[in-house]
Amino acid sequence: MSFTSWYNRTLNQIWGFVEDRTSMRKWALRPQPQFTFKPSYWTGGFVVTAFLYQVVSGMLLLLYYQPSTNTTLTACGQPVGTQSIAPAAWCSTYYIIHSVPMGQLLLSSHLYGAYAMIFLMFVHFFRGYYLGVYKAPREFSWMVGTLLLVMTLGMGFTGYLLPYTQISYNATNVGLVLALRLPTVGPLLGPFILADGTSQGLLSRMFDAHVLLLPLALGALLYAHIALFESHGIAPQATSDPLQRRRFTEKEDKQGVPFMPHIFWYITKWGLLYVGLLLGIAALWPWNLPTYVGNLAAAGVVTEPDWYFLWLFKLVDFAGVTPVLAIGITNVLLLYVLFLPFLDRTKRTHPRDRPLFIWLATSLVGFFILMTVWGGETPGQQIALMSIVYTIGPIFAVNAVVTGLFYWRYRRSYLRRLQARESSFTGSYSPPTPLSIDPHRAVAEAKSGE
């Protein structure tokens, strides 16, 4: 017997045993159509993988980390006299890096894992945006997703302070100044975040939020997010057909691929690749700890947040942009994302048919990339009004032209293709698959500009 057939038979036997004892198929996620065997359909699953890695690596870090600003006399394992006044939070991080076996790998992979989770979340978000998955009946999935986005960024914000480096301390203070300037909400939030106003109070609150409150909220929201996904099934491919069904029937489900074990293994395979890559990168480029809060020799440390907040950080450098305005702009953006399913009301999901929303998304991607690079290159440098107009204006203008041209070009060729298909049909249309387009109906609608 070849190795492959032995391997497959053994795997089937093990799976058969588990399935028999657990009836897992009954409580696993619903079966999925064959076309979902593509990574782009499971971008959310990759975010879940990244989240799980953060939970596991975070729990290991908790074994050593001390959320305390008390200065330590243990000298953090360095020659006594050089670092002996460093806060315990920084010292315990230093200890993890230098004394815990594989500690630097663990800490670096936790940090890079956070970057990866945020990056993957944006991939998941923009995929959903471009392909219109937020449309009925998935409005609530989208809205819960928006809350997940806020929670995930909150995890990043609160985690940044924990090593208690001067750079993270400065940036956290800038962030707090922005958050606490929010009208009404700011003063309400203040006591919760700042505690008794001491550095220890702030560190304790950030720590609580990072290891308990936000992960719990994230877990609960994720449960709701996946329950909604389960109830609707996966979104079908984007289409120009306004009448396409957006849900699969039970009969179609039965023809789909069972989630357990097939889809689960498919995602796990990618998940393992993710963990391997993450550990590889962390091993090759380990993170080094910047200097601690209160180090007098570090007076010239620049104030810089992590890359995902650089855009906001740069925004306050713009002439005329006060903290209140910057936080106001952020809130408008968030509200736009939250209520997007109710703003984009057409039933078509294909990007070709939603030029206004595609223009906005592409311009915002350009805007965020530009601001992030700009924030990294010239942190804290004031930007004059004209320079803002010359730099940001072209992004929106060029995108408007490109999106407009694509819209015009594809609309024409799409109509031609539909007409060709229509003329090749005689009599009534019988769809090859339940979700495919009826050309007679589609031509009539495309012509009427529906």
Chain residues that interact with ligand HEM, rule: CB under 6 A: 42-45, 47-48, 51, 121, 124-125, 128, 133-134, 138, 141-142, 145-146, 148-149, 152, 222, 225-226, 229, 234-235, 337
Q: What is the 3-state secondary structure (H, E, C) of 160-205?
A: HHCCCEHHHHHHHHHHHHHHHCCCCHHHHHHHHHHCCCCHHHHHHH
- Quick one: CA dihedral 386, 390, 392, 396, positive or negative? positive
Residue with tokens 């298909």: 421
* Shortest Å, Cβ 149 to ligand HEM: 4
Closer Cβ to ligand HEM, 102 or 136, answer by number:
136
What is the three-class DSSP state of 332? helix
Rounded Cα distance between 250 and 285, Å, is 49
What minimum distance in Å lies between the beta carbon of 377 and ligand HEM?
Answer: 28
Question: Least distance (Å) from ligand HEM to the CB of residue 266?
Answer: 11
Burial (CB < 10 A; 0-12, 13-18, 19+), residue 338, is middle
The least CB distance from residue 143 to ligand HEM, in Å, is: 8
Answer yes or no: are the C-beta atoms of 263 and 29 closer than 8 Å. Answer: yes
Backbone angles phi, psi at 20, to 5 degrees: -65, -40
- Kindly report the backbone phi and psi dihedral angles of residue 236, in degrees, each rounded to the nearest multiple of 5, phi listed first: -70, 170
Instruction: State how far the Cα of 388 lies from the Cα of 393, in Å rounded to an integer.
Output: 8
Nearest distance in Å: CB 173, ligand HEM: 26
Question: CB within 8 A of 127, min separation 6: which ones?
Answer: 40, 43, 133
**Angstrom distance (rounded) from CA 87 to CA 67:** 9
Beta carbon nearer to ligand HEM, 138 or 348: 138
Residue 144 vs 316, nearer CB to ligand HEM: 144
**Rounded Cα–Cα distance for residues 134 and 118 (Å):** 20
Is 115 or 429 the residue whose CB approaches ligand HEM more closely?
A: 115
Written as six digits, the tokens of 165 are 């480096």
Q: Judged by CB, which is closer to ligand HEM: 125, or 374?
A: 125
Q: Which is nearer to ligand HEM, 149 or 203 (CB)?
A: 149
CB of 192 to ligand HEM, least distance (A): 23
Is 445 in a helix, a strand, or coil? helix
3-state secondary structure of 408: helix
Largest Cα–Cα distance in the chain? 91
Q: Retrieve residue 33's tokens.
A: 């159509």
- 373, amino acid identity: V
| Residue number, 142 or 164, with CB nearest to ligand HEM | 142
Least gap, CB of 233 to ligand HEM (angstroms): 7
The closest of 397, 309, 299, 415 to 352, measured between CA atoms, is 415
Our CB check for ligand HEM shows the closer of 229 and 359 to be 229
Judged by CB, which is closer to ligand HEM: 169, or 311? 311
Quote the least distance from Cβ 113 to ligand HEM, whole Å: 13
- 448: how many CB neighbours lie within 10 A of its CB? 7
* Shortest Å distance, C-beta 310 to ligand HEM: 19
Report in angstroms how near the CB of residue 142 gets to ligand HEM at its nearest.
Answer: 4
Nearer to ligand HEM, 30 or 205 (CB): 30
